[in-house]
Amino acid sequence: MAAASRDGAGTSGAGLRGLVRPLSFPQLVLDIGLAAAFALILGPLSLLMLATGSSLALALVVTALMTVALAIARLSPALALLLAWIGALVQMGFGAPPLPINLAILGVLYATAAYGSRLLVRLGFVSALVGAGAVAVYLAVTAVPPGVAFSWDAFFVGASIYLAFAIAFVLAWTVGLLVRSAQRARRIRLAQAAAERAVFVEQERGRIARDMHDVVAHSLAVVIAQADGARYAAQHDPGAGTAALETIAGTARAALADVRMLLTQLRHSEAAGPQPTLADLEQLYAQVRAAGAAVHVEVAPTPPGLPPAAVQIAVYRILQEALTNALRHGTGTEVWVRLGWHADRVELEVRNPARPDAAMPHAGHGLVGMGERAALVGGSLRAAPQGGQFVVSATLPIGAPA
C-alpha cells in the first residue's frame, strides 16, 4: 500500500510538472500584473453591461475565469485554455452577450501556440476554429426571435460573424506560433554557435600544442645534449660536477617524456614546422604595410636579452591576429603597436580605429586563439572597443632571458 501510494504521488507530480512550465519569479509577477491591469480596465466595462441581478454575478464569474486564464497563460497554457473554455461556456449557457473581458481569449490562444506542447498547439488551433463557430452560432441563435423562419440574410450575417471571429482567433494563434518558431531558431543558433566555438577552441589548442611541442622538445633536447657533454668535460671536479650534471640530464629526460605525453593527449595530430621569433616581427609589419595600413611601432623598454621561445611565439601570434583583425574590422589605414619588455613581463597593445559602419569583432575564433595563447604562458589578454578604437592588450610573464 505504501509503495502504491508513493507511485501514485510520483505519477501525479510528473503530470503536474507537465502542465506547469518553469517560470522565473519576475516573469510570474509580470504575467499576473498584466492580467490584473487587463481586468481593471475591461472588467468594469463587462460589469456595466450586466449590471443587474444574477447577471452581475455572472459577469463577476466570467471576469474572474478570464483573468486567471490570462494570468497563467504562460505558466500553464493547457489550464489557461481550459479556464477560457469554461468561462465562455458559462457565459453562453446563461445567455450573456460578448463582453470586453473576452479579449483575454486572444492571449490564451497566443500562449497555446507559443508555449504549449505539440498537442496543445493543435488543440489551440482547433479551439480557435470551433470557438469562432460557437460564437457565431450563439449570436445567430440569440439574435433571431423564436418562430422566425430561416433566411439567407441571417445566414450571411452568421457567416460573416464566424469569419470575423475566426480571423481574430487564428491570427492570435498564428502570432504565437511565429514567436515559438523564432524562439526555437534562436536556441538552435545558440547551440550551433556554442558547438562551433568548442570546435575552434579545440583546433586552436591543437595548434598551440604543436607549437609548444616544438619549442619545449627542442629546448629540452639541447639541455640534455649540453648536460651530457659537460658531464664528460668536467674533469676538474669529478664529484660535484658530475653529480650535478647527471641530475640535470635525468630531470630533463623525465621532463621531455612528460611533456610529450601531455601534448599527445592535448592535440589530435602532430605537425612540425618553423616557429616564429621576434626577428620575424618586421616581416609581419611589412606584410600589413603592404596591405595598405600604416603600422606605428613603439618598443619601450626594449628586450634586455633573448626572451624565452614560448613568449616569442605568443607575442608573434597575438600580434599576427590583432593586426589581421585591424585590417578586417578597422579602417585599414593606421595601426598602433606598443611593446614594453620589462624584467618580469612583456606588455603588448594594439590599437586601430574602427569603421563607423562596421560591428566590432566579437568573441570569435581569432579572439579565442589570442586568449589561449596568452593563457598558455600564464598571461592575460583583453580585447574590447575603447573610444571608437578596438584595443587588444596583453600581459605575458617572462623568466630570465636566454
The pTM assigned to this predicted structure is 0.52
Grade residue 235 by pLDDT with cuts at 50, 70 and 90: low
By the 8 A CB rule, do 352 and 328 touch? no
Q: What is the pLDDT of residue 299?
A: 92
Report residue 200 as a C-alpha cell: 575552434
The pLDDT assigned to 194 comes to 84
Q: Residue 382: its pLDDT value, please? A: 92
Higher pLDDT, 292 or 190: 190
Percent of the chain exceeding pLDDT 70 equals 67
More confident residue, 324 or 15: 324
| pLDDT top residue among 12 and 266 | 266
Q: Is the pLDDT of residue 257 over 80?
A: no
Q: Return the pLDDT at 12.
A: 41
H or E element in which residue 346 lies:
strand 345-353
Q: How far apart are CA 70 and CA 84, in angstroms?
A: 8
In this prediction, residue 264 has a pLDDT band, given cuts at 50, 70 and 90, of low
Chain-centroid distance of CA 318 in Å reads 26
For the ranges 155-164, 270-279, 379-388, the maximum mean pLDDT occurs at 379-388
Mean pLDDT along residues 210-228: 59
**Residue scoring higher pLDDT (74 or 289):** 74
Element (H, E) at 395: strand 389-397
Higher pLDDT among residues 97 and 142, named by residue = 97
Spatial separation of the C-alpha atoms in residues 190 and 178, rounded to whole Å:
18
Of the candidates 307, 345, 343, 282, the one whose C-alpha atom is nearest the C-alpha of residue 219 is 307
Question: pLDDT-based confidence at 11, cuts 50/70/90?
Answer: very low
- The mean pLDDT of 177-189, rounded to a whole number, is 91
Residue 265 in this model has a pLDDT that exceeds 80: no
Q: What pLDDT, on the 0 to 100 scale, is given for residue 272?
A: 45
Express each pLDDT in 91-139 by its tens digit: 888 888 888 888 999 999 999 999 988 999 999 999 988 988 888 777 7
Cα gap 317→337, rounded to integer Å:
14
Burial of 239 (0-12, 13-18, 19+ CB in 10 A): exposed
289 pLDDT band (50/70/90 cuts)?
confident
Supply angle C-alpha 36, 38, 39, rounded to 5.
Answer: 65
Q: Which of 176, 141, 145, 175 lies closest to 158 in space, CA to CA?
A: 141
171: nearest Cα among 130, 129, 224, 208:
129
More confidently predicted of 58 and 156: 58
> Sorting pLDDT into bands at 50, 70 and 90, what band is 216?
low
- What phi, psi does 356 have (nearest 5°)? -65, -30
Max mean pLDDT range (14-18, 44-48, 50-54, 319-323): 319-323
Q: Domain 278-397 adopts which CATH fold?
A: Heat Shock Protein 90 (3.30.565)
Asked if residue 77 has pLDDT above 90, the reply is yes
Quickly state the pLDDT bin for 340 (edges 50, 70, 90).
very high
Query: Helix axis angle, 365-376 relative to 152-233, nearest 10°?
Result: 30
> Domain locations in the chain?
17-192, 204-266, 278-397
If one counts every other C-beta atom within 10 angstroms of the C-beta of residue 57, the result is: 11
- For 178-212, letters b (16+ CB in 10 Å) and e give eebeeeeeeeeeeeeeeeeeeeeeeebbbebbbbb
pLDDT tens profile 349-372: 999 887 765 555 554 556 777 888
3-state secondary structure of 51: coil
Each residue's pLDDT tens digit, 371-395: 888 888 889 999 888 888 889 999 9
pLDDT recorded at residue 247: 62
Q: Are 358 and 334 in contact (CB under 8 A)?
A: no
Q: How confident is the model at residue 168 (pLDDT cuts 50, 70, 90)?
A: confident
